[in-house]
Structure 1
Amino acid sequence: MHRRHAPPPKLHPHPSPLSSPATHPVPYLHRLLSAAAPAVSPGPRFAVEDYLVDTCGLTRAQALKASTKLSHLKSPTNPDAVLAFLAGLGLSSADVAALVARDPKFLCAGVERTLSPILAGLTGLGLSRSEIARVASLAPRSFRSRSVVSGLEYYLPLFSSSESLLRGLKKYKYFLSSDPERVVKPNIELLRECGLGTSDIAKLCLAVPWLLSAKPERVQVMLACVERLGVPRRSGMFRHALKAVESLSEEKLAAKVEYLRNTFRWSDAEVGIALRKAPLMLTKSNQTLQSKSEFLISEMGLEPAYLAHCPVMLCLSLEGRVKPRCYVIKFLKANGLLDRHWTYGTIVRVSEMVFVETFICPHKEAAPNLAEDYDAACRGEMPTNFRFTWTKNRL
């Protein structure tokens, strides 16, 4: 028998799409469905940079910089709510622009969750809405943290008034972010141990507000530095001495002391006397100190020892106060118009009103141009060879 051979398989001239190796069934069906489905256009993307310019009032350069911190924002909903909150505080458009430029992430703060409770808390501390607006403007990063309420609750009695606190905040905004328990209170306690009362501490903190947020170890270094200058704790000058050394390293301080010694021809003991009486001399530039030495010692003939015991003359304005007054007294002495002995130290210390009433007004007839020349000298119009006009028809 002959075996029947199976017929050969039929070959399709064009392969089926489902069996084509170039097209897998799943992506093919996906393309079919995509083609059949209606086209859906994506929603408009939130343009952060444009929002910062058009709505917040930033310059294009400010917006470009700020937008890098807001790339996660997808809509204006939260920023709009924040801007409404700031407007409710009374901030002007310019204030809002400055705040956002300083702290772009303020636009991400939750109004109901964060900002409104902070507003309520600060209002409860007795701050007015305008004062709260100033806190937000001066320290926006601290303001959007709920700890700002407890921080201000501690600082308000320390500064004695909200106005003083805001002045300190304007000079140094970062102390609000310091931990009162771990940093601020230990520093305040160190100052109290030196004999500084609440009023002195408040004045010092206004002058050197970073002192509140400094590491206590740094404050201890400052205290030791002042003591080495010879300014005793519990003296009235201790606060001023702390202010004087706050920006000086030990090397710069030693160099300044040496400069004082050489410029005013003082002994070591006289340097110590002068610094105990007027530690703020340390804040004066070398050029200013040199000019005062040339005038007071070389021109006026005052003794170095006298200046060491009356160093206040070195802390006052040379051109606006010391020179004009010294020339008035020199003129009055030369013409016999002083009825008693006045020291130059006393003369430069008295208020302007007292000086005019004591040394100018009584001599209107004897020296009719004295007041005019003195006023010109105080304005800096004193010629090199300063001479008061003089009339012989004096009494």
Structure 2
Amino acid sequence: MFSLILHGRRSLELQKWRNLRTSVSILQNAFAFSNSFSSANTGDVSLRGNALAVSYLVKSLGLTTTLAESISRKVSFEDNVNPDSVLKLLKSHGFNDSQISKIITAYPRLLITDAEKSLGPKLQILKSRGGSKSELTEIVSTVPKILGKKGEKSISLYYDFIKDIMHDDGKSSKYEKLGHSWPEGKKGNRIRNIWLLRELGVPHKLLFPLLISTGQPICGKEKFEETVKKVVDMGFDPTKSKFVEALHVVYEMSNKTVEEKVAVYKRLGFSEDDIWAIFKKWPFFLKFSEKKIMQMFETLKKCGLVEEEVLAVLKTRPQCIRVSEKKILDSIETFLSLGFSRDEFTMILKGYPPCIAYSAQMIKQKFKFLVKKMNWSLEDVVLVPPVLGYSLEKRIVPRCNVIKALMSKGLMGSENPPISSVLLCTDQGFLNRYVMKHDKLVPELMAIFTGDRVS
């Protein structure tokens, strides 16, 4: 009887959230309907192109479905002819499969570039700069967007500069010695500023996206230098990605705008110390509009959080601000449809805020494995919500397969160990706890653990 009452209560909660979600999207649906006749054919073509792109990326490049789906939102195509030509051309210039996957992941639009008229000539320009084939493939796979530059002079300039940085032996560079010969304007500023950042210790993986980017902040001169000084004075470490994030934010926002954003957060209950502590954790925290900030605050309250809990969530995981209201309502509906109560969802949200950004497919896959296949209870997941953030393929499945193997041999009894003892520890901690103590079974258990085998 209790289970029937519980099921009925959860059904009512699910219906309640579905009604809320429907009310939020009424205007969107009405707008979509008014445009349906003009956009239907385009939408069908786009869906076909996206589906083909996902299939192609998985089969031809060995990408995961999740990554392929993400890339397909940036580029789609109706047939394999041009993508095949691009891959064939890259291979003919010495790029291996791993490098090609890296290039396409970073610069997916390359798949729809004309291989003969655009990509081929650019590769020939780079090849003419001298150096070995391995040097060419290393530089392009490190900075794929160099293939998006136009004009022989521009492509050559950036290629030579990247090569100089990558292979610098610590001695004075030709760019230091011949600073007076840098090109004028934005290109010269860009190279000068990148060199300054390199001298500060900014690593290559952060420098090169800035070099190729068409945006700010590295195109200026005086303002750039002023911004770098501010960011350094704030205590950001140049070797970390947050330094570059802060560089973007400080460069693009006036002092007045920053003061206005700080005022919004203070009205919501954050102290000034809180605000700057969060900024150090995630600089883009100050980039959102007042409307977006207020909307997120109210949406989290709808999730069952009181004001103090909303503040705590945003202090812990400020990235939640960028999640749309629709995404959050979809997340609530997904959890309720799986049998979690509203109070349980609230507990999960407080314990692991990133869950509101996950797709329904991801949540359902992990729920199916943890609860349906491994027989852990809903309460187990509620008590340890970070397990929802772990990779199925790399962490959850290999460890659980080891546990099932031990149980099948009668070495663990009939019930699973606590979910926290299996999934929260490090790999070495797991191996010490469940593998190494079984001397005769270590080879077999290690094969299961490293084989990513789903049983």
**Structure 2 equivalent of residue 364 of structure 1:** 439
Give the conservation status (yes or no) of the 8 Å contact 1:328–1:374.
yes
- 3-state SS of paired residue (2:395): helix
1:318 to 1:63, Cα distance in 2 relative to 1, 3 A: closer
Question: What does the per-residue CA deviation read over 1:79-105, in whole Å, with 9 as the maximum and x for residues that have no partner?
Answer: 9xxx79x96996689xxxxxxxxxxxx
Give the conservation status (yes or no) of the 8 Å contact 1:223–1:242.
no
1:282 matched to 2:356: yes
Greater alpha carbon shift after TM alignment, 340-349 vs 350-359: 340-349
Residues 66-215 of structure 1 aligned to structure 2 (within 5 Å):
107-108=184-185, 127=200, 138=213, 141-145=216-220, 146-158=222-234, 160-164=236-240, 168-169=244-245, 175=249, 177-187=251-261, 190=265, 193=271, 196=274, 200-205=278-283, 209=284, 211-215=285-289
1:108 to 1:222, Cα distance in 2 relative to 1, 3 A: same
One-letter amino acid matched to 1:274: I
**Structure 2 equivalent of residue 352 of structure 1:** 427
C-alpha distance in 2 between matches for 1:362 and 1:133:
47
C-alpha distance in 2 between matches for 1:308 and 1:178:
41
Question: What does the per-residue CA deviation read over 1:6-54, in whole Å, with 9 as the maximum and x for residues that have no partner?
Answer: xxxxxxxxxxxxxxxxxxxxxxxxxxxxxxxxxxxxxxxxxxxxxxx99
Offset at residue 257 of structure 1 (A): 1.0
1:293 to 1:139, Cα distance in 2 relative to 1, 3 A: same
Offset at residue 361 of structure 1 (A): 0.5
Counterpart selection for 1:326 from 400, 405, 427: 400
Offset at residue 338 of structure 1 (A): 4.5
1:219 matched to 2:304: no
C-alpha distance in 1 between matches for 2:149 and 2:260:
39
One-letter amino acid matched to 1:127: L
1:152 to 1:214, Cα distance in 2 relative to 1, 3 A: farther
C-alpha distance in 2 between matches for 1:181 and 1:269:
42
One-letter amino acid matched to 1:350: C
1:303 matched to 2:380: no
1:375 to 1:88, Cα distance in 2 relative to 1, 3 A: closer
Offset at residue 173 of structure 1 (A): 7.9
C-alpha distance in 1 between matches for 2:445 and 2:147:
58
Residues 334-345 of structure 1 aligned to structure 2 (within 5 Å):
334-338=408-412, 342-345=417-420
C-alpha distance in 2 between matches for 1:59 and 1:337:
56
Counterpart selection for 1:294 from 365, 368, 374: 368
One-letter amino acid matched to 2:341: S
Offset at residue 311 of structure 1 (A): 1.7
Task: Point out where structure 2 has 5 or more consecutive residues left out of the alignment.
Answer: 1-123, 130-144, 168-182
Q: What count of residue pairs does the alignment treat as equivalent?
A: 287
Give the TM-score of the pair, scaled to structure 2. Answer: 0.50
C-alpha distance in 1 between matches for 2:379 and 2:373:
16
1:242 to 1:223, Cα distance in 2 relative to 1, 3 A: farther
Percent identity, please: 14
C-alpha distance in 2 between matches for 1:297 and 1:341:
11
Give the conservation status (yes or no) of the 8 Å contact 1:226–1:245.
no
Counterpart selection for 1:314 from 376, 388, 393: 388
Offset at residue 242 of structure 1 (A): 3.2
Offset at residue 325 of structure 1 (A): 1.7
**Structure 1 equivalent of residue 107 of structure 2:** none
Offset at residue 353 of structure 1 (A): 0.9
1:153 to 1:347, Cα distance in 2 relative to 1, 3 A: same
Offset at residue 310 of structure 1 (A): 2.0
- Choose between structure 1 and 2: higher helix proportion: 2
C-alpha distance in 2 between matches for 1:281 and 1:334:
33
Offset at residue 107 of structure 1 (A): 4.3
1:197 to 1:335, Cα distance in 2 relative to 1, 3 A: farther
Offset at residue 350 of structure 1 (A): 0.4
Task: Point out where structure 1 has 5 or more consecutive residues left out of the alignment.
Answer: 1-52, 67-75, 94-105, 387-395
Offset at residue 233 of structure 1 (A): 4.6
Give the TM-score of the pair, scaled to structure 1. Answer: 0.57
Question: What does the per-residue CA deviation read over 1:191-214, in whole Å, with 9 as the maximum and x for residues that have no partner?
Answer: 853874755432323xxx3x4433
Give the conservation status (yes or no) of the 8 Å contact 2:422–2:430.
yes
One-letter amino acid matched to 2:369: F
Give the conservation status (yes or no) of the 8 Å contact 1:195–1:233.
no
1:240 to 1:168, Cα distance in 2 relative to 1, 3 A: farther
C-alpha distance in 1 between matches for 2:406 and 2:147:
64
Offset at residue 278 of structure 1 (A): 1.1
**Structure 1 equivalent of residue 55 of structure 2:** none
**Structure 2 equivalent of residue 97 of structure 1:** none
Offset at residue 223 of structure 1 (A): 3.7
1:89 to 1:303, Cα distance in 2 relative to 1, 3 A: closer
Offset at residue 314 of structure 1 (A): 1.6
